[in-house]
């Protein structure tokens, strides 16, 4: 066969494969959307239910069979949720605790993860295993001892007590360590040769490279402050330090100790909103990743 025909054939082949590729591409793309659409519907349904419940009257909420759309839309549940609890104070407290504890926690997590990922020291493996082990004991058992500790420290009804005991999260240390481990060692050694200090290397190289993970941690930690309930209720249930979830939960128990669920659902929706917005805002940072990652092997 001449060289010419060979070229023609391969060109034909190329075209064929490219149309076939196109078809499979379209098909698989449809498949991907169908899959995502279905999963999204499953994920969304409970929210739909929560929203319609938050718009019902208590009588209708208790009705059986349940109604799929409130016969009478009660927007007033939201205003009631908003006014019953003194939301301004609750938001302020939650913001203070959320922001301070997130920042401090990030610093501690970065240092600790760095030590475990990059530095060599005796007993590293053992210490890390022990750290992981602490995650495995159900935290409810810590409550009583910790309660005694903070009482003895005189921290009841302060911001300290809401921030300090939970600054260290092995979950996040472990997550960040996994990320740090992916950054090639050569980079670190090169930096050493250049005389860059560890701290500078950590700040200039490792932190930027792990930005998506750090943002994930930020979101998770903020979420924690937002949703924390049992501990804050126990140690700081005074007006001046009460956090949002507590404030909202307390506000809607009626005289019989029953909960006005529709209003509470409205409150849950209201409380979720800021977090939702934070996510929408930070989403692109999580997704964009590190564009200047020419470094990675």
Partner 1 sequence: MVESKQQWKAWLYLAPAIILLLVFTVWPIINTVAMAFMEDYSGLASIGGEATFRFGFGNFTRVVQNAEFQQALTNTMILCLITVPVSTLLALLIAVALNAIKPLQKALQTIFFLPYVTNSIAIGMVFAAMFNVIGSVGTRRPLISSYGIVNDLIRMFGGNWVNWINSGSEYWANMFVMIVYIVWNALPFKILILLGGLAGINKQYYEAAKVDSTPRWRVLTRITVPLLSPMLAYVIITGFIAGFKEYTSIVGVFGESMGPVHEAHRLNTMVGLIYDSLASNNQGRASAAALILFMIILVVTLINLRVSKKRVHY
Partner 2 sequence: MKKVISLFLMFAMLFSLCSFATAEEAPAYDGSEVTITFYNTMGSNLTAVLDNYIVEFNKLYPNIHVEYTSVGSYDDVREQVSTEITVGTQPSLAYCYPDHVALYNLAKAVQTLDAYIGSTAEITRADGTTEIMGLTDEQKADFIEGYYNEGLQFGDGKMYTLPMSKSTEVLYYNKTFFDEHNLTVPTTWDELEEVCKQIVEIDPMSIPLGYDSEANWFITMTEQLQTPYTSATEPHFLFNTEENREFIKQFREWYQEGYLTTQKLYGAYTSGLFTSTSEIKSYMSIGSSAGATYQRPAKLDDGSYPFEVGIATIPQANPEHRRVISQGPSLCIFKKSNPQEVNAAWLFAKFLTTNVDFQAEFSMASGYVPVLKSVAENPAYAEFLASADGGDFVSALSARVCLEQQDAYYTSPAFNGSSTARDEVAALLPACLTIPDGVDVDAEIQKLFEKAIEACNYSL
> What is the footprint of partner 1 within residues 177-236 (CB under 8 A)?
178-179, 181-182, 198, 209-210, 212-213, 215-216, 219-220, 223, 227
Burial bucket for residue 56 (CB in 10 Å: 0-12, 13-18, 19+): buried
The answer to whether 188 touches 118, Cβ cutoff 8 Å, is yes
**Binding partner selected for residue 32 from partner 1, partner 2, none, CB under the kind-specific 5 to 8 Å limit:** partner 1
- Window contacting partner 1 (CB under 8 A); options: 75-83, 90-98, 160-168, 235-243: 160-168
How many of the chain's residues bind partner 1 (CB under 8 A)?
95
Nearest of 293, 255, 251 to residue 268 by alpha carbon: 251
Cβ 186 to partner 2 shortest distance, Å: 53
The answer to whether 181 touches 240, Cβ cutoff 8 Å, is no
Cβ 221 to partner 1 shortest distance, Å: 12
Encoded tokens for 102: 């997130």
Nearest of 149, 111, 154, 113 to residue 131 by alpha carbon: 113
Contacts of residue 249, defined as CB under 8 A and 6 or more positions apart, other chains included, come to: 229, 264
Task: Specify the residue for token string 């498949």.
Answer: 31
Map the footprint of partner 1 across residues 242-271, applying CB under 8 A. 245, 261, 264-265, 268, 271
Encoded tokens for 281: 């805002």
**Binding partner selected for residue 39 from partner 1, partner 2, none, CB under the kind-specific 5 to 8 Å limit:** partner 1
Cβ 297 to partner 2 shortest distance, Å: 52
- Which residues of this protein are in contact with partner 2, per CB under 8 A? 57-60, 62-65, 84, 143-144, 147-148, 151-152, 156, 233-234, 237-238, 246, 249-259
């Amino acid at each position: 066969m001449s060289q010419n025909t060979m070229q023609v054939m391969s060109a034909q082949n190329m075209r064929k494969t490219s149309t076939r590729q196109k078809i499979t591409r379209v098909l698989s793309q449809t498949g991907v959307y169908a899959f995502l659409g279905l999963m999204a519907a499953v994920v969304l349904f409970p929210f739909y239910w929560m929203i319609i419940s938050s718009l019902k009257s208590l009588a209708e909420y208790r009705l059986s069979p349940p109604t799929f759309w409130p016969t009478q839309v009660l927007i007033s549940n939201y205003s009631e949720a908003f006014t019953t609890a003194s939301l301004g104070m609750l938001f302020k407290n939650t913001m203070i605790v959320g922001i301070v504890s997130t920042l401090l926690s990030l610093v501690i997590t970065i240092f600790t993860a760095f030590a475990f990922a990059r530095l060599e020291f005796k007993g590293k493996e053992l210490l890390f295993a022990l750290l992981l082990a602490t995650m495995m004991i159900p935290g409810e058992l810590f409550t009583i001892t910790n309660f005694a500790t903070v009482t003895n420290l005189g921290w009841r009804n302060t911001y300290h007590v809401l921030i300090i005991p939970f600054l260290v999260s092995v979950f996040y240390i472990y997550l960040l360590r996994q990320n740090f481990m992916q950054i090639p060692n050569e980079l670190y050694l090169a930096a050493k040769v250049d005389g860059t200090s560890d701290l500078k290397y950590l700040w200039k190289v490792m932190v930027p490279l792990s930005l998506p993970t750090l943002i994930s941690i930020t979101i998770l930690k903020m979420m924690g402050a937002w949703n924390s309930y049992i501990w804050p209720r126990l140690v700081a249930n005074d007006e001046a330090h009460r956090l949002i979830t507590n404030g909202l939960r307390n506000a809607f128990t009626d005289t019989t100790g029953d909960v006005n669920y529709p209003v509470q659902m409205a409150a849950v929706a209201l409380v979720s909103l800021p977090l939702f917005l934070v996510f929408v805002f930070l989403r692109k940072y999580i997704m964009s990743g590190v564009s200047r990652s020419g470094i990675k092997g």
